[in-house]
Structure 1
Amino acid sequence: MWSIKNMDLEDTLLMMPGPVSVAPRVLRAMSKPMINHRSAEFAGIYTDCRGILADVFQTKNDIFLLSGSGTAGMEAAVGSVAGSGEKVIAIENGKFGERFKDLAALYAELVPLEFEWGLPVDLEKVKEKLEEGAKAITLVHNETSAGIMNPAAEIGKLAKKYDALFIMDGVTSLGGDEVKVDEWGVDIAIVGSQKCFAAPPGMAAVSVSEKAFEAMNCMKKRLYYNDLKAYKKSGDKPRPETPYTPAIPLFYALQEALHIVKEEGMEARIKRHRTLSEAVRAAAGALNIEMFPQLNEYSQYSNTITALKSPAGIDGEDIKNDMKKRGVIIAGGQERLKSKIFRIGNMGNVTARDVLSTIQQLEIVLHKHGYIDSVGAGTEAATRVIDRL
């Protein structure tokens, strides 16, 4: 029987929420010779990346690059501004909100604000928690575990009103959807390299406001490796650098990936992500597959991943595994959502052909399980949306 075992890995289609496919020119960039990480050459790479990122983040705040995943950026954000006895409100409506909650509990006095995974954030409850006082509040902007986009702008307004630092995980929205760090009042924003930027895993970018730096000055204990004040000290040098040895090949790769982002232009990149996610949702509708997240007036479906309920009688893991056999890698549900949902990503440099190929294979899988009588309706629905690109 034909399966992924008969294929070269280069022929598989990654349609998951990261890591995503990396362009050949990005892979080639990683093969360049090592350089002195305290050299003018490295400073030029670092400065170039920070400049492009400032445009993507839509910020005038400082931006730093950490050798570590998005989680390293999340930990740096919380651990750099909040210490023992200081309250941090952690909003959770998915796996990565839970991760922010766990990180906050390590460094500060945790104030959990939990919603069932996939349900929208209740702003009135956020307001109630902020009224009680807090040093900071955390939010996952685009909760990929549940396929929901949370109301960052509204949370930012509330954080400013109650004088709390706003820490935002933009790991899977920055570079693929509209993010306005300064306009939304985000004090620390984090993004991961392997998501919408379509670079290899292992890098995090963090933007930091003056207000956040002021909070760091009051810290009695500071982080060591992920201390954002140390990153500022090194980044402010006439020849900018990182405080510790950076992952130089990953800097090469990220720089090249950011050049691809710049060449496409953020307006076009956002439009592409939004259109392709709409195409997946249209296909799901045509195939009578329900969206997993529930929305309110302040939330939206994610534009970089689509979370779908497993059809009645079909295990979401079976859909994921059958898709893998057909050369398409999608994601299943995490923890309590395992088997209940499956997720299709469209982040990075995903094309219309990639989405259509994924929908075609999904229809074949659903037909195999007896859920649909014939194939074609989903692909046709997706095509009508994609034709607007």
Structure 2
Amino acid sequence: MRQRLFIPGPVEVSQEVLLSLAKPLMGHRTKDFEEILIECWNMLKQVFKTKNDTLIITGSGTSAMDAAIASCISEGEEVICITGGKFGERLAEIARSYKARVKEVEVTWGETVSIEKVEEAVANSSAKAITLTHNETSTGVLHDAEKIGKIAKEYGLLFIVDGVSSVGGNEFKTDEWSIDIAITGSQKCLATPPGLAFLSVSNKAWEVIEDNDTRNYYLNLKFYRKSLKKNTTPFTPAVSLIYALHQALKEVFKEGLENRIKRHSILAKATREAVKAMNLELLPKEEVASNTVTAIKIPPKLSDDDIRGVMRREHGILLAGGQAQLKGKIFRIGHMGNVSYAELLGMLSALELTLKKAKHDFKLGGGIEAAESIIGKI
């Protein structure tokens, strides 16, 4: 049985993207490859909604998070890190690994950050930067990057935003929201195989980076800037993955970026309505829920295996579990990338059968009906 991915990355990719991986390799310093890189950089600018430089790193999304912190923050400097989930906490962990003084704005997992708490933390600090995970993959919460960007701008701080599970699926406006370094990865909303990370870097951030004595080598963004001016990369890139990225980005713009974001929004709304109709409880409040991943509480009488295990074994569908303190307490449905409405309905149908087998109390077919009521309004 072929396994279908409904996890928040990696995601299913198109046949055209898969085929692009089989193309013959070319020299990474050739004119032909340079043209592909330039097109990718330009399309990434449109995805990020920025006029800033865009960079491609061969590595996971975490490599770009590491690069941003290492290139901007010196030992002993203060950073305000908004947590509230596994990946918000990861930014704080990276900052600590470079001997920064981390001031956390703690957020209960499943809730959104208090803007008042952020402003209070900034006003009573000597911080150089604020970090935020825009779309917290571990909880399905979307934070208000726009309001936090205004605070960062008002106080003259760098604003570093992890948009790994957000860019291309949620509204994300790098320049308008005063984001100095925006980060995303290949394996989520852009529907490219894992292994590439992307950043947009503002002029303000470049000034800081050029003046910073980073301890990193491979992820030193100064090297990437120097190579960018020559239309190349500082180190050998994953050539085949960049072929795949090139094809995937063309598919994004064939659909239309705004259409893609709208589709993600409809998928998310349909999923939430279906889940409620199945007598399941969402982890976050709907007004702060993500477009790209839905986090759902496991009913008290059921186990993780009753849901995710059966979905995998009997229906060939992979869902994500909870992480850290939420392990065994929630499951997560990823509906990002190229997921179609028909594919979503198929997954929800399998979830209904799984819950029925577990003797969960709900009306069979109610979830599908609720989802169709949302999709049918298109």
1:307 alignment partner in structure 2: 295
Q: TM-score, normalised by structure 2?
A: 0.97
- Asked if structure 1 preserves the Cα contact closer than 8 Å seen for 2:17 and 2:244, the reply is yes
Q: TM-score, normalised by structure 1?
A: 0.94
Q: Which runs of 5+ in 2 are unaligned?
A: none
1:341 alignment partner in structure 2: 330
Distance 1:123 1:307 in 2: 23
Q: CA deviation at 1:222?
A: 4.4
2:38 alignment partner in structure 1: 47
Q: How many residues align?
A: 375
1:293 has 2:293 as partner: no
Distance 1:346 1:221 in 2: 37
Distance 2:103 2:266 in 1: 37
Distance 2:19 2:362 in 1: 45
2:345 alignment partner in structure 1: 356
- Asked if structure 1 preserves the Cα contact closer than 8 Å seen for 2:135 and 2:142, the reply is yes
Distance 1:193 1:221 in 2: 25
**Cα root mean square deviation, aligned:** 1.1
Distance 2:305 2:360 in 1: 15
Q: CA deviation at 1:76?
A: 0.5
2:306 alignment partner in structure 1: 318
1:4 alignment partner in structure 2: none
Secondary structure, aligned partner of 1:72: helix
1:168 has 2:147 as partner: no
The residue type paired with residue 178 of structure 2 is: G
Identity %: 48
- Asked if structure 1 preserves the Cα contact closer than 8 Å seen for 2:8 and 2:333, the reply is yes
Q: Which runs of 5+ in 1 are unaligned?
A: 1-6
Q: CA deviation at 1:129?
A: 1.3
- Which of 198, 201, 222 does residue 194 from structure 2 map onto? 201
Correspondence 1:136-155 to 2 at 5 A: 136-155=129-148
1:178 has 2:162 as partner: no
2:237 alignment partner in structure 1: 246
Secondary structure, aligned partner of 2:10: coil
2:82 alignment partner in structure 1: 91
Q: CA deviation at 1:66?
A: 0.3
- Asked if structure 2 preserves the Cα contact closer than 8 Å seen for 1:133 and 1:162, the reply is no
Distance 1:334 1:257 in 2: 29
Correspondence 1:255-270 to 2 at 5 A: 255-270=246-261
List per-residue Cα deviations over 1:184-210 (Å, max 9, x = no partner).
000000010000000000000100000
1:28 has 2:33 as partner: no
The residue type paired with residue 33 of structure 1 is: P
The residue type paired with residue 164 of structure 2 is: V
1:105 has 2:93 as partner: no
2:221 alignment partner in structure 1: 228
1:125 has 2:117 as partner: yes
1:387 alignment partner in structure 2: 376
The residue type paired with residue 183 of structure 1 is: E
Distance 1:52 1:235 in 2: 15
Q: CA deviation at 1:106?
A: 1.2
Q: CA deviation at 1:388?
A: 2.0
List per-residue Cα deviations over 1:322-349 (Å, max 9, x = no partner).
1111111111101110111111111000
The residue type paired with residue 308 of structure 2 is: K
Q: CA deviation at 1:306?
A: 0.5
Distance 1:134 1:40 in 2: 43
1:80 has 2:71 as partner: yes
The residue type paired with residue 365 of structure 2 is: G
1:187 has 2:199 as partner: no
Secondary structure, aligned partner of 1:181: coil
Q: CA deviation at 1:136?
A: 0.6
Distance 2:21 2:118 in 1: 44
1:157 has 2:150 as partner: yes
Structure 1 stretch displaced more, 215-224 or 227-236: 215-224
- Asked if structure 1 preserves the Cα contact closer than 8 Å seen for 2:169 and 2:337, the reply is yes
1:3 alignment partner in structure 2: none
2:208 alignment partner in structure 1: 215
